[in-house]
Structure 1
Amino acid sequence: MLYEGVLRKMKTEIGNPIQYFLVFENDFINMNQALDKEVQIDFIKFQCLNCGRDLPIFRQGFCKTCFFETPLAGDWIMKPELSTAHLDKADRDLEFEKKMQLQPHIVYLANSSNVKVGVTRKSQVPTRWIDQGAHEAIEIMEVPNRYLAGITEVALKAHVSDKTSWQKMLKNDIEDVDLVEWREKLKSSIPEETIAYFINDKQETLLEFPVLQYPEKVKSLNLDKTPSYKGTLKGIKGQYLIFDDNTVFNVRSSEGYFVGINIS
C-alpha cells in the first residue's frame, strides 16, 4: 500500500511493545503492522515544517531561514539552562516561550546505551524516553520551569553523560543498571536552588520496543544520498526504523522530507 506525506517524528503509544505511528496530513501508518514486510521509501521533495516551502532542510525539519527565525528552534530547546521566560525576557517569541518553558519539567536518568541525564516537559513522559530508545528510565526532579531543570542538568553532567550512543542503542549493546541507586548517588550534586524538588519515591519505568532483529552493524540511510530505498522492516526503536540489511533510518532527523512509502 502506498502512502505519501511529509515526515515528522513518529507518534508513540506506551504498551508491550510500544506502538509506533507515522502520521501524515490525511493518513497514518501503524508501523508495528509493517514488521517483517517490505518497505520502500522514496524521497519526493522538501517541505519545511514551518513555511511549507520546497527548500532544503537545514536542521530539525526547517529550512535555513525558518531555523533561525521560528521559536520552535530556539537555543533554549537544546540547552534548557538558556531559558529566560521566567525572567519575562524573550528569545524569539515570549508568549510561545512562556507557554513551553513555564510548565512542570522533569529531570531524569535514562539508560539507552549508557546512563544519561536529560530534561523534558512533564507532559512528555514517557514519550521522551521512548524517542531516545531508553529501555529503562527514572525521574530525579520535578521543577516548575525549564530553567531550573536546565541548571540541574548542567550540574549533573559533571558526573554522568548527557549523550546517547545511537549505534549502541540500536544494536541493543546495553546492560541493566540500578537507576534508583544512580539517583541517590547523584543527589549530593544537585544545586541548592533545586534540591527541594528532588523525588524520592519514583521507581524505574521499563520500556519494550518492537524489534524482531537487532543490527550487527549500523548503516544509516540518508535520503539526500540514497533517495530510494527498499528493505524488510525488522524493528523500531527510538525514532529509528531497523531493516534486515543492517540499514537504519532516523525518522526524526528526516523531518521535513516529503516521501512516498510503499508497504508490501
Structure 2
Amino acid sequence: MQYRGVLKKMKTENNEEVDYFLEFNDDVVHLNQLLDREIAIYFVEYQCLNCGKNKKIFRQGFCYDCFQEIPNAGDWIMHPELSKAHLDEEDRDLAYEIKVQLQPHIVYLANSSNVKVGVTRKSQIPTRWIDQGAHEAIAILETPNRYLAGITEVALKKHVADKTNWRSMLKNEIEDKNLVDEREKLKEFIPDEAKAYYLASSEEFNINFPVIEYPTKLKSLNLEKNNHFKGRLKGIKGQYLVFENGVVFNVRNSEGYVVDFEVLT
C-alpha cells in the first residue's frame, strides 16, 4: 500500500489508547493498525500549507514569505500574552484574531516528562495534551480570551517549567504527579485579573498511547537529510512516530513536506 500527500499533524481520537490518523491526498491511514509493521517514507517536495507552492518550509508548515504575513503565524500564536484582539487592536488580521483570541482558553498543567504549564483554546482539549505526549494533565483556569490565559502562563512559568523534555517523553521516563496538589501550589501566583477564572474542581485527565516498545536511545529522522527512510513502527506518542532502533520522526515538525508513505509488510 502506498500513499502520497502533504504532511500535516496527525489527527487523534482519545479512546482506551489514543487513535492516530494521517491524511493523504485520497486516503486516511489509521496508524495504530500499522504497529509492528515496516513502513517506508520518501520525501518528494515541499508544499507550503498556505500558498501551496513548492518552496522550502520555514516554520509551522509555511514558507518564509507566508510565515511573515499570514494571521495564523503571528507572534501571539506562540506568545499568547501578546494578544490584542480584546483591545480591538489588529496584529495582521483583526477579524481572524477576534475569532481565535476571543474564545475560551485553558491554562493547564501537563505531565509528559515533567510538569509544565501551557495555554490552549478550550476546543483543543484534550488534543493539545495528546500532541504533547502528556500521560496526565489538568486545567487550572478557563479564561474568556487568549490574553488573560497568556499573562497567567507568563506568571506561572516563573514557578514551573513551560517546556517538555521530548527525549524523556519518548523514552517514557515519566513520574506520576498529583496534579491537583501541583495546581494548588500555583494558585497564589495567578495574576489578580485572572483569579476569578480559577477552576478549583477540575480533575486530572489521563492518556494512554499506543506504544509496543519505548526506545532507550533516540535518533531523529530528518527528511531533508535522509529523504528515504524505512523502518518498523513500534509506537506513536505525542506527534512522533517511534521506529525500531530508536529512530523517531516528528510529524508536526515536518508539516508542509510532500511524501510517499508505503506500508511494506
Judge same fold: TM > 0.5, yes or no: yes
Tell me which amino acid in the other structure corresponds to 1:218: L
* 1:108 alignment counterpart: 108
Q: Which residue of 2 aligns with 1:169?
A: 169
How large is the Cα RMSD of the aligned pairs?
0.5
Q: What corresponds to 1:142 in structure 2?
A: 142
**How far apart, CA to CA, are the structure 1 residues paired with 2:33 and 2:179?**
33
CA distance in 1, matches of 2:102, 2:74: 15
The corresponding residue for 1:16 is 16
Following TM superposition, by how much is the alpha carbon of 1:27 offset from its aligned partner in structure 2, in angstroms? 1.2
1:16 Cα deviation (Å)? 1.3
Aligned amino acid, residue 140 of structure 2: I
- The answer on 1:73 being equivalent to 2:68 is no
Q: Does 1:83 align with 2:89?
A: no
Question: Does structure 1 retain, via aligned residues, the 8 Å contact 2:4–2:25?
Answer: no
Give the deviation of 1:26 after TM superposition. 2.1
Aligned counterparts of 1:13 and 1:67: Cα–Cα separation in 2: 29
Contact 2:49-2:256 within 8 A present in 1 as well: yes
1:242 corresponding residue in structure 2: 242
Q: Which runs of 5+ in 2 are unaligned?
A: none
Which residue of structure 2 lines up, in the alignment, with residue 131 of structure 1? 131
Secondary structure of the corresponding residue to residue 199 of structure 1: coil
The unaligned stretches of length 5 or more in structure 1 are none
Deviations 1:134-154 (A, max 9, x none): 000000000000000000000
Deviation at 1:245, TM superposition (A): 1.4
Partner residue, 1:4: 4
Deviations 1:99-139 (A, max 9, x none): 00000000000000100000000000000000000000000
The one-letter code matched in structure 2 to 1:254 is S
Q: Distance in 1 between matches of 2:251 and 2:100?
A: 24
- Using the alignment, how far apart are the partners of 2:119 and 2:54 within structure 1? 33
Name the TM-score, length of structure 1 as normaliser.
0.99
Q: Which residue of 1 aligns with 2:255?
A: 255
Q: How far does residue 255 in structure 1 lie from its aligned partner after superposition? A: 0.1
What is the letter of the counterpart of residue 118 of structure 2? G
Q: Partners of 1:165 and 1:127 in 2: how far apart?
A: 19
The AA in structure 2 aligned to 1:3 is: Y
1:3 match: secondary structure? strand
CA contact (8 A) 2:9 2:252 kept: yes
CA distance in 2, matches of 1:230, 1:17: 25
Aligned to 1:57: 57
- How far apart are 1:161 and its partner, in Å? 0.5
CA distance in 2, matches of 1:257, 1:52: 11
Q: Secondary structure of 1:245's partner?
A: helix
CA–CA separation in structure 1 for the residues paired with 2:24 and 2:97:
27
Please give the alpha-carbon distance, in whole angstroms, between the structure 2 residues aligned to 1:263 and 1:245: 18
Amino acid at match of 2:232: T
Tell me how far 1:230 sits from its aligned partner. Answer: 0.3
Who is 1:229 aligned against? 229
Q: 1: CA distance between counterparts of 2:110 and 2:207?
A: 11
**2:219 aligned partner:** 219
Equivalent residue of 1:68, what SS? helix
The residue type paired with residue 110 of structure 1 is A
State the distance in 2 between where 1:215 and 1:91 align: 43
Q: Which amino acid aligns with 2:179?
A: L
1:215 aligned counterpart, secondary structure:
coil
Using the TM superposition, give the Cα deviation of residue 24 of structure 1 relative to its aligned residue in structure 2, in angstroms: 2.2
Q: How many equivalent residue pairs?
A: 264
Tell whether the 8 Å contact from 2:113 to 2:166 is kept in structure 1 after alignment.
yes
Cα separation, 2, equivalents of 1:8 and 1:91: 26
Scaled by the length of structure 2, the TM-score of the pair is 0.99
What does residue 184 of structure 2 align with? Answer: 184
Alpha-carbon distance in 2 for matches of 1:150, 1:258? 34
Distance in 2 (CA, whole Å) between partners of 1:96 and 1:186 is 32
